[in-house]
Amino acid sequence: MQNFPRLEVVVVALLAATTLTQSGCESEGCLRGEEGCEVPSACQALAFTCADPTVELAVMTAAAEGPGGLDAMGAAGDWLLRNAEVEVVIDGLDHPAHFAPTGGSILDLANRDRDDDTTNHVVQVVGALPTDAVHYLRARTIEGDGFVALQLEGHLVGDERQRVYTRYELRACEPGLRVRTEMVNGSDDTVVWSNADGTFWGGRSMLAFTPSPGEGYLHPSFGLGTLNDVVRETPFVVGTSHSVPPSAVAFVPCNVENVTGFHSGQVSTTGMPRRIITPRDYQVYERFLAVRPGAGAAPGVDVALELRRQLFAEPFSTITGTVTLAGGRASSLGQHARAAVMLREGSLGDPAETLVPWTEVVPGNDGAFRARVPSSRSYVLQVIAFGAVQAEQQIDVGGDTLDVGSIEIAAAGEVTLDVTVDGVPDHAQVLFHPADDDTALAVTSQYFEQGVVCAPLLGPPNGGSPACNRVLVDGQQAIDVPAGNYDVFATAGLFASIARASITVLPGESQTVTLALERLAPPAGALSADFHVHGAASFDSTIPDFDRVKAFLAAGVDVIAATDHDAVWDYAAAMEALHADERIALMAGLETTGLMLFKLNPDVYYPQVIGHWNFWPVPFDDDAPRNGAPWDELCEPGTLFERVAARGFPVADGVIQLNHPWADADFARDLGFPRALGVRLDQELPRAFDGTGAGLLLRTPPGSSMSNGDYHTQEVMNGTENSAFLPYRAVWHWLLDQGIARAGTANSDSHSLHDSILGTPRNLVRTSTAVVGFDMAQFNADVRAGRMIGTNGPIIEATLESGAAIYYPSILPVAPGGAPALHVRVHAPAWVPVAEVRILVNGEPWVIGGDELIHPDDPLVPIDVLRLDRTIPLADLLPSGTRDTWIVVEAGDPLPQTGDLDCDLVPDTSDNNGDGVIDWTDVDRNGDKVVDADDLEGEEGPEPCRDDYGADSSADRPSTGPLQNPPAPARDHAAYLFLAVTPGGYPLAFTNPFLLDRDGNGTFDGPGLRGAP
């Protein structure tokens, strides 16, 4: 019958399909997840030869077996792969770091025997969420003829069924690793993946360089909501270090033509194109990760182009030339900021956003440079010096080589800084500032158009000295300075005078600038201390140890808590080399830094972290992961405190500090625990966990013996730029109002020479111990008790005196009898303005200012000047009644006017549009750091406040900020001197409180929230 042949066809088709599918496709690697599978070798088209065919893989037994470098963190139990060219450390499975939930990631990537690792971490990811990272379960080593390999097996954090297999392979003679990652979607969900390497640059560290129009080192900013708008496809990505010793890493794809990813100063991803991956599908990514020595992007670009020649038959040409100076110190060539050559594809006159930067090379000491670029293209060659383009020309690259000859750039002036302290050469810091607007216009620049603005740019901002506009000196120091008129300031810290010189720098001419400082008598019975300091051991710093310790000495700080991110460091070698042990007591400590988001706060739907916490002392163990620091992720603070204690932190004698309690989140990670919890200062803090975010602040996490509230100190001042003082102070006062007393501290949180000045601000701890014969336990006991002030200049000596009894500020309650009086004595070096003294009684200020204070005539006179000495009967200050009361004394400038637009009683906005009113028109809504009409587009008026901002509080809460300090004074203003050595800061000091037990119950219960009956 005619109809049935159709049925026959159907049946035959079914049978055929079944046969085909049963035979399946040939499996490769570990895609089928079979026991004992082997991921194949990647990048088969590559071949390198050399004289030394050795290659080895071993499990480290000590850190010294691995490479060194600013970010070298290899420890016992990690894997070391090594050949004649490179050394690579893969962290052990039980050594998780940074964003990775387990080990199995690249921890160190260095050139053989050069100790030049500046790579924080390279992990496998599929996206930017915590669930997009890889959890490795198993590892095995593979050795063969001319290669070694480490194969790891695991799954994505979000779903165990999404299997991941990675093979790291090192072959003899090759300048890096061949890596193949297979990811199989064994789940039921359709997902979007980019099988990629996530590189954690950290910030202030390596810079990502991408050959993408208008980019290079410059990358568009983004948030999680705009991430997809900034994803780029490029033939490779290079990471460059801008400190010493320099190196470059290159990420080159093998099985696709371009890498896809996003880039910033903190992280980059480089991998496969974003794709929808249906269940049962998979994605394989093969790439070569190279590392080469040398400054600039060129070492990485050169090897990337060689790899692409072998993989994709893409030809390259070698450009050579010489940069010469029209005078001045030829020996200054070879320094990154002095001259760098950038090659951008395009034509002179093309808009900058269309030019494609292909490489950036630093000429040698003789000015000669050599770099590779893709062949048969036209380029704009630029020589960049002190952050500005000083020469450019068009070149057309045809053949294999092109010599562009000599390119002359303007001479700089040579300035020899000759700094003495008390008549002898000693450590100091010198800051250059333009002396007029023309010079400011000429020399203001950014390092490769990104990051901090410097005027002038004397050196890479995040490296050693000179950095940005700052120079560390110890006696005489010669540097190159671009032509212009400058005010040069020397400082040796808060207890010394300031020296100032006005100079004119002419091209090609030399001069010596003599700056004489005098130390001022520090307060007796006190040690100055900075409890928040970073160096290259932190993932977001590349200041060499030597420069970091020189900064300690230049600041004249007595005690340092070394608090690097997620790693313990003791600066031992640099301390010894500089004989700093004789002048500084250094306590090795730690700043824990939550990076892995998790569900913390029951009030909001999105994951968070617990902010940053400092601990000191923490034992330093070079051979242990993270040098002895514990894994600090995915836990509440109480549990974290236990983990640190398990690593040797002395719970009885050590100090736990809550850092920057109200700082803005960074890369979606909260930096302050109270802010992460969404506490509101108009509400009482729950003393027991009530299911709310605020209820977490004091609770003891399940399974922990320590409470989230078991910290001893809280930062009230953080950073030389002190606009965040008012929010941090508000949190501190709010806790005092409720009888929750923690000592307040003031720290620099310095990460480099260009950001906060080390030791500004600092603490003055009233203690019986000294640097020589330092009794750490006694010192920390005094810190925990709050026997200290915080200051960036003014010194406050405040006592409560009643007959023979004298009480000092601390967090131990007192009940002075008789007729006590508050004695306030404020003094400061002549260069520190003190415009007012505030006596805060339960937060309400009594202000003493103007003519009531003594103001020195000449800020350059090397003397300490008494500003106020007054005794006030306590009865005149206290409120009526018998409720407990706290008193804090502050001194410095009047506080900036601020507003609280989201009604949580935390200052959040200043008068940013200058109209004299702080309101909704002062908010920088588009994040461009300028408050203007663009920020008001679509806005009709103020956003309403609510008692509860709900589960999506970031969306529902009224927009706020920024908080900005008052504009800088004019150069001829007396206060300019202070600002010149305290960039972005206004004079400020505070005491820890007097806690008055007025109701006599033996405890300090606080006066209650403001407005409470």
Partner 1 sequence: MKTLLVIVAAIASAAAHAASPCDGRALPEGPVPTGFEQAEFGVVRRACPRTELGLSGVGRAVIEQENFYANLRGGVRLDASMQPFPQLEVFASGEGFVFNQVIQSYRATHMGLGDTSIGATLLAFGRNGFALAPTARLTLPTALGLYQHSFPMGLEAGLLGLVVPFEELRLHGGLLGAATWAVTAADSDDRGALISNVGADLVLDDWVSVVADLNAQALHRADLDRLTVGLGARFAFFDGLGLEVGAVIPVAGAERNLASLVLRGAWRFQ
* Binding stretches for partner 1 (CB under 8 A): 1, 3-4, 6-8, 10-11, 14, 17, 20-21, 24-28, 31-33, 127-129, 132, 184, 186, 188-194, 224, 227-228, 231, 274-283, 605-606, 952
The nearest distance, CB 22 to partner 1, in angstroms, is 9
Q: Which is nearer to partner 1, 441 or 951 (CB)?
A: 951
Amino acid at 842: N
The β-bridge partners of 105 are: none
The nearest distance, CB 29 to partner 1, in angstroms, is 9
The nearest distance, CB 38 to partner 1, in angstroms, is 15
Burial class (CB within 10 angstroms; exposed 0-12, middle 13-18, buried 19+) of 725: buried
Choose among 438, 465, 468: nearest CA to 452.
Answer: 468
CB crowding 244-282: b at 16 or more within 10 Å, else e: bbbbbbbbbbbeeeebbbbbbbbbbbbbbbbeebeeeeb
Pairing of strands 134-144, 207-209: unpaired
Q: Which is nearer to partner 1, 94 or 229 (CB)?
A: 229
Contact 548, 755 (CB under 8 A): no
Count Cα atoms within 13 angstroms, Cβ side, for 148. 19
Q: Which is nearer to partner 1, 536 or 597 (CB)?
A: 597
The nearest distance, CB 273 to partner 1, in angstroms, is 8
Report which DSSP code applies to 629: P
Sign of the Cα torsion 659, 661, 666, 670 reads: positive
Amino acid at 490: A
CA distance 905 to 55: 62
Rounding to the nearest 10 degrees, give the CA dihedral for residues 857, 862, 863, 868: 50
Characterise 910 by phi-psi region: left (phi > 0), alpha (psi -120 to 50), beta (else). beta
- Rounded to 5 degrees, φ, ψ at 207 are -110, 135
- Based on DSSP, count helices (H) and strands (E) in the chain, helices before strands: 11, 57
Contact 643, 696 (CB under 8 A): no
Q: Which is nearer to partner 1, 43 or 604 (CB)?
A: 604
Q: Which is nearer to partner 1, 4 or 916 (CB)?
A: 4
Q: Which is nearer to partner 1, 100 or 191 (CB)?
A: 191
Structure tokens at 689: 């966990």
CA distance 855 to 754: 30
Q: Which is nearer to partner 1, 949 or 986 (CB)?
A: 949
Q: Which is nearer to partner 1, 37 or 776 (CB)?
A: 37
The nearest distance, CB 287 to partner 1, in angstroms, is 18
Q: Which is nearer to partner 1, 6 or 929 (CB)?
A: 6
The nearest distance, CB 691 to partner 1, in angstroms, is 17
Q: Which is nearer to partner 1, 17 or 806 (CB)?
A: 17
Q: Which is nearer to partner 1, 90 or 284 (CB)?
A: 284
Q: Where are the beta strands (DSSP E) in 767-820?
A: 788-791, 795-802, 805-807
Q: Which is nearer to partner 1, 599 or 687 (CB)?
A: 599
The nearest distance, CB 220 to partner 1, in angstroms, is 16
CA distance 622 to 638: 26
The nearest distance, CB 99 to partner 1, in angstroms, is 13
Q: Which is nearer to partner 1, 27 or 44 (CB)?
A: 27
Structure tokens at 391: 């020469």
Q: Which is nearer to partner 1, 31 or 861 (CB)?
A: 31
Q: Which is nearer to partner 1, 14 or 1012 (CB)?
A: 14
Contact 341, 369 (CB under 8 A): yes
CA distance 991 to 743: 10
Q: Which is nearer to partner 1, 237 or 740 (CB)?
A: 237
Q: Which is nearer to partner 1, 12 or 860 (CB)?
A: 12
The nearest distance, CB 599 to partner 1, in angstroms, is 9
Name all contacts of 864-867 with Cβ < 8 Å and 24+ positions apart: 864/520, 864/521, 864/795, 864/827, 864/828, 864/829, 864/830, 865/827, 865/828, 865/829, 865/830, 866/825, 866/826, 866/827, 867/794, 867/826, 867/827, 867/828, 867/834, 867/837, 867/891
The nearest distance, CB 953 to partner 1, in angstroms, is 14
The nearest distance, CB 130 to partner 1, in angstroms, is 10
CA distance 135 to 1012: 51
Sign of the Cα torsion 350, 353, 359, 361 reads: positive
Contact 925, 912 (CB under 8 A): no
- The whole-angstrom distance between residue 952's C-alpha and the CA centroid of its chain comes to 27
The nearest distance, CB 13 to partner 1, in angstroms, is 9
Q: Which is nearer to partner 1, 32 or 687 (CB)?
A: 32
Amino acid at 497: S
The nearest distance, CB 26 to partner 1, in angstroms, is 6
The nearest distance, CB 221 to partner 1, in angstroms, is 16
Burial class (CB within 10 angstroms; exposed 0-12, middle 13-18, buried 19+) of 823: middle
Alpha-carbon distances, residue 291 vs 66, 192, 336 (angstroms): 15, 30, 19
- Rounded to 5 degrees, φ, ψ at 605 are -85, -20
CA distance 981 to 429: 9
